[in-house]
Every structure is written in C-alpha cells, then in structure tokens.
Amino acid sequence: MAKQVGSFKTAAEYGRKASAFLADVQKQFAKFEGSAARVITLSETYDDLVGLSQYQESLFSQSVTAIENRLFRAAIVLAWAGFVDVLETKLASDGWAKANSVWSTFPTTKTLEEVRESYTEHAFVMLGKECGLYTKSTMNTLHGALAERNQCAHPGNPDPGMNEALGYVSKLLKRAKDLEGRTL
C-alpha cells in the first residue's frame, strides 16, 4: 500500500511539472506572430478588468473566444460593442447631466436605450470627448476603431488577421478599463 501512495505522489508531481511546462511553452509561443498561444496574453488583459457589467464582460469574453476560434471579424465587432456599452453607460451614469451641460439639446429624460435610438456611436464618441472623458487624440483613435469595426461588420471588406484582431481587442479593453476609472 505504501508503494502505491508513493507512486500516486510521483504521478501527481509529474502532472504538476507537466502543467508548469505547458504553461511555460505557451508563454514562449505567445511571443511569435501567428501563434494561437498569443491569445493567452489577451486573456490576461481580460482578467485584469474590474467593474464591468455582466453584459460588458460577456461581450469582451465572446470577443476573446472569437479570436481563439479564428473569427477575427467577429472579435472586432464584439469588442467594439463591449467598449461602446462601457462608454454609453458612463455617459448615462449621471442621468445625462454632463451631456446636457455640453450639448444643451441633449435629452435628460430619456433612458439609455431611447438615446441609443437617436444618436450614433460616432456621436457618443464625440460626446465622451466633450464631457472630458478623454482627449481629442483619443477621440480620433476611437473614431478610427469605429471605422474598423464598420469594415468588419459588412461583407466585401478585407479580413483582419490574428495580429490585427488581438491589437484591436487589447486596445479597446485598455480604453474600457480607463473609462471605468474616470468620473464625469
């Protein structure tokens, strides 16, 4: 019996060592372009996000899953949806008071869903800048990200590769985390 317990301990030790080895190999492969192991670095970025709603976390999680399954256009569309929900929720967090102070015609009595029907995502990005959530340079970057999302959401446009999708999702995750830490 003691011999079997010793064998079990040895097998468990080999299992731990194999897991550690596999994690190290994936970390090393994540450095190379085109490697599916690069998704690990994106997962680590995702794990760092705090304060997102369940819906926003779901959108970003689906974006990561899309990259893992080589659905790069879908990953970009989902990441934008997650980011823009963070932005719109932040803008609505004070009952649209700040938005109305910078755009006097902005409705303060409508719900987020109602406002989404009246304003484009492009306008929400502009409003975020006007409300002081980010700089003009960041606004221009976000408008570029929206244009890229639009290209991916419609047929006939070039397909992004893994590198483009990883960069796009990582950039929007960083922007979302930054927005979460800001106040209006």
pLDDT value of residue 1: 46
Distance CA 149, CA 122 (A): 12
Q: How far apart are CA 1 and CA 31, in angstroms?
A: 46
CATH of the domain at 66: 1.20.120
How many CB atoms are located within 10 Å of the residue 2 CB? Answer: 6
pLDDT, residue 8, reads 58
Note the pLDDT of residue 52: 87
Regarding whether 46 and 7 lie in a shared domain, the answer is no
Structural domain span for residue 89: 31-180
User: Per the structure, how many domains does the chain have?
Assistant: 2
pTM score, whole prediction:
0.78
Which residue positions in the chain have pLDDT lower than 50? 1-3
Asked if residue 62 and residue 51 are part of one domain, the reply reads yes
